[in-house]
A and B are shown apart, each in its own frame.
Chain A
Amino acid sequence: MNQESCVRLAESGRVGERLTSIAIWFMASSVACVLLCIIGDLVWHGVAGLSLDFIIAAPARSGREGGVGPILVSTFVVLTIAIAVSMPIGLATAIGLSEFTSRESRFATFVGHGLDLLAAVPSIVFGLFGNALFCNLLGLGYSILAGGLTLACMVLPILARTIEASLRNVPDDYRVASASLGICRARCTASILLPAASSGIVVGLVLGIGRVLAETAALLFTSGYVDRMPRTAMDSGRVLSVHIYDLAMNIPGGTENAYTASLLLVGLLVGINLTASILVRYLFPTQRVV
Chain B
Amino acid sequence: MSHDSPGAAENVAVETRELSVAYAGRVVLKDASLKIARSKITAIIGPSGCGKTSFLQSLNRIGDMISGCTVTGQVIMDGANVLAPTTDLIKLRRRVGMIFQKPNPFPLSIRKNIQLALREHRIGNRVEIDSITQRVLQDVGLWDEVSDRLDTPALKLSGGQQQRLCIARALALSPEVLLFDEPCSALDPVASRVVETLIESLRNQATIVIVTHNLAQARRIADNVAMFWYENGAGALVEFGTSPMIFESPRSPITAAYVQGTEG
Contacts and interface: CB of A to CB of B under 8 A. Distances in A.
B64 A8 contact: yes
Nearest to B68: A5
Contacts of A20: none
A10 B64 contact: yes
Nearest to B66: A5
A10 B69 CA distance: 14
A275 B89 CA distance: 44
Contacts of A9: 65
Interface in A1-25: 1-2, 5-10, 12-13
Interface residues of A, number: 10
A9 B65 CA distance: 6
A6 B89 contact: no
Contacts of A6: 67
A5 B88 contact: no
Contacts of B67: 5-8
Consensus secondary structure, chain A interface: loop
B23 interface: yes
A278 to B, nearest CB: 24
Contact of B65 (A1, A12, A13): A1
B16 to A, nearest CB: 20
B190 interface: no
B8 interface: no
A2 B88 contact: no
Contacts of A2: 23, 66
Interface size class of B (residues with CB under 8 A): 10 to 19
Contacts of B127: none
B216 interface: no
B65 A8 contact: yes
Contacts of B66: 1-2, 5, 7-8
B49 to A, nearest CB: 13
A231 B68 CA distance: 59
Contacts of B90: 10, 12-13
Nearest to B90: A12
Nearest to A7: B65
Given A2-B66, A5-B66, A5-B68, A13 B23 contact: no
B151 to A, nearest CB: 27
Nearest to A6: B67
Interface in B84-102: 88-90
Given A1-B66, A5-B66, A5-B67, A10 B23 contact: no
A143 B96 CA distance: 72
A127 B89 CA distance: 59
Interface in B62-89: 64-69, 88-89
Contacts of A12: 90
A284 B66 CA distance: 27
B181 to A, nearest CB: 10
Which of B23, B66, B67, B89 neighbours the largest number of chain A CB atoms within 10 Å of its CB?
B66
Contacts of B89: 10
A6 B88 CA distance: 22
Nearest to A14: B90
Contacts of A7: 65-67
Interface in B105-163: none
Nearest to A17: B90
A21 to B, nearest CB: 15
A71 B65 CA distance: 53
A13 B68 CA distance: 23
Interface of A: 1-2, 5-10, 12-13
Interface of B: 23, 64-69, 88-90
8 contacts: A1-B65, A1-B66, A2-B66, A5-B66, A7-B67, A8-B66, A13-B88, A13-B90
Q: 5 closest Cβ contacts across the A-B interface?
A: A12-B90, A10-B89, A5-B66, A6-B67, A5-B67
Given A1-B66, A7-B66, A10-B64, 10 more contacts: A1-B65, A2-B23, A5-B67, A5-B68, A5-B69, A8-B64, A8-B67, A9-B65, A10-B90, A13-B90
